Amino acid sequence: MGSQWSNDKAYRQAKKSGYRSRAALKLQEILRKNPVIRQDDNILDLGAAPGSWLQVLREMTDGVLVGVDINPINPIPGVTTLTGDFSDPVVIARIRELMPEVNGIVCDASPKLSGTRSYDQARAIDLNQQALRVARTLLKRGGNLIMKSFQGEDFSWLYNQVKKDFYSVRTYKAQTTRKGSTEMYIIAKNFIGYEPDPEENLSDGSA
């Protein structure tokens, strides 16, 4: 990875600061512009590997931090990590045991990109739907959500789904996003609580 990104200024800056990836700088920027994490918040990080967002979060809150990823995450002092699918009920149950309440959820997860934009965006939206389900299940009323997505055909649908559950929702494109990327963050504040709509089908972005 070092040879691939050695000419990337953000990557070099992140490594110099002791972070595991350039994504740490994105989260720092997002939180400067959108201060949604309080000093005592318990935060759940979905798709957390390699752990750079957890490193930033540990600097910002004294609350409980839990990171989940299908890939193992090297230990971070003061952070609990789980290896597994964050949509798995067994993983959800374990999170409940570890966290008395969840004040915030962050998700920087993205699928392995194929290079076919429409296909990659559809897979990213599917991950977003899974993350939103977790938020609806675990997030405390009044809690906040930061979630990475990608602009495309189904992005507006996803955005409107999030708006149903939070009082304030906006999008944010990080300055460190690579040129040409459709990457976009959804910043959702003040979770209302979720009541299932019998006519809603969250698994179908075309609905």
The answer to whether the Cα torsion of 87, 89, 91, 92 is positive or negative is positive
Q: Residue 51 annotated as binding?
A: yes
Residue 108 marked ligand-binding: yes
Confidence label for 11 from pLDDT (cuts 50, 70 and 90)? low
88 annotated as a binding-site residue: no
Residues 186 and 160 sit within 8 Å (Cβ to Cβ): no
pLDDT: which is higher, 204 or 134? 134
In a domain, 59, yes or no: yes
Q: How many domains does the chain have?
A: 1
pLDDT given for residue 3 in this prediction = 42
Q: Read off the pLDDT of residues 128-170 as tens digits, 9 standing for 90 and up.
A: 999 999 999 999 999 999 999 998 889 999 999 999 999 999 9
pTM exceeding the 0.85 threshold for the entire prediction: yes
The answer to whether position 154 is within a domain reads: yes
Give me the active site residues, please.
148
For 98, phi and psi rounded to 5 degrees? -85, -25
Q: Residue 43, class by beta-carbon neighbours within 10 Å (0-12 exposed, 13-18 middle, 19+ buried)?
A: buried
Task: Give the whole-angstrom CA distance, residue 68 versus residue 5.
Answer: 25
Provide the domain limits for residue 150: 24-30+41-182
